[in-house]
Amino acid sequence: VKKIAYLGPKGSNSDQAVQFYANKTKLHDFEEFPTLTIEDAILLLENQGVDEAVVPIENSVEGSVNVTLDKLAQSPNLMIAGELLLPIRYVLMAKRDTNPQHVKKIASHPQSIAQCRGYIRDQYPLVEIVYTNSTSEAAQIVYETQEDMLAICSTNAMHLFDLDVVDRNIQDFENNATRFVVLTQKAKKDQDLKDHKCSIVFSSENKPGRLYEVLEIFKNLQVNLTKIESRPSKRKIGEYIFFADMEMNQREDLIAQIHDLLKYKTSFLKFLGAYPVLSNMSDV
């Protein structure tokens, strides 16, 4: 039985990603391990408590999830085995007798608050924000409190407690979507690389034009980069590592070619995996 860790609790966006992943890959028999933080899910995988961890890596509004990128760069054996792209919708929930005009607090996860920042400012400019570990926890707090408080929940957490819907689709950007990754401890060997993406992370010496020279390699190989992103090296401000995603387009020899060319231009290089992308964006 495959064991899968994810950022919990039940009803979280990551839980929704796990269900979608199981559904798409016809995985009927698996055990779920919800964790309190993204880091805990990855640590559980590293300590071999689970076979896979499903965690967010990028949101279309808030950008990259730092802890996921940092772990991928730091842990030599951590690999990406799959990508899951899901739409994210938020609802505003309240206890039955809450008067919207008396609301003093809004509770949710910091990422969810960030994705509904404009809505909160327009509709509830004076409320106090209460940060929670998940949107499910926000719903629970509102359910249990005596105060005039609202919870911002993902649509899959809205039925966990007996709360009323105050408003729907309150995210600031309609096309709000999140990329999740399925992490494993080593790369799967048996995968067909057709229609796959490949991800790498590298650092270059802090030398003018170095990033340009790296991009030139991809250009010469006619590889399309779908993303390039810098993260601090953490050693010194102004020093960066770079994450790049590229389309594989059935070119199974590409990884070896990139490796041969990139090793001369980088001081650190790690392949994060070649993996399929499963998208639920058309179901919106």
Interface residues with its own copies (CB under 8 A) are 39, 58-63, 66-67, 85, 110, 114, 117, 121, 129, 131, 133, 173, 175, 177, 179, 208-209, 211-212, 215-216, 218-219, 222, 224-232, 234-238, 240, 281
**Which contacts (CB < 8 Å, 24+ apart) does range 189-192 have?**
191/274, 191/275, 191/276
Min CB(176)–its own copies separation in Å: 9
Cα separation, 252 vs 247, in Å, equals: 11
Min CB(30)–its own copies separation in Å: 26
Cα separation, 91 vs 161, in Å, equals: 13
Give the chain's largest Cα–Cα span: 66
- Residue closer to its own copies by CB (options 164, 206) is 206
Min CB(162)–its own copies separation in Å: 25
H-only helix segments in the chain: 13-24, 38-46, 66-74, 110-115, 117-123, 135-144, 210-220, 254-262
- Residue closer to its own copies by CB (options 26, 236) is 236
C-beta of residue 273 within 8 angstroms of C-beta of residue 79: yes
Min CB(157)–its own copies separation in Å: 19
- Residue closer to its own copies by CB (options 64, 98) is 64
- Residue closer to its own copies by CB (options 19, 280) is 280
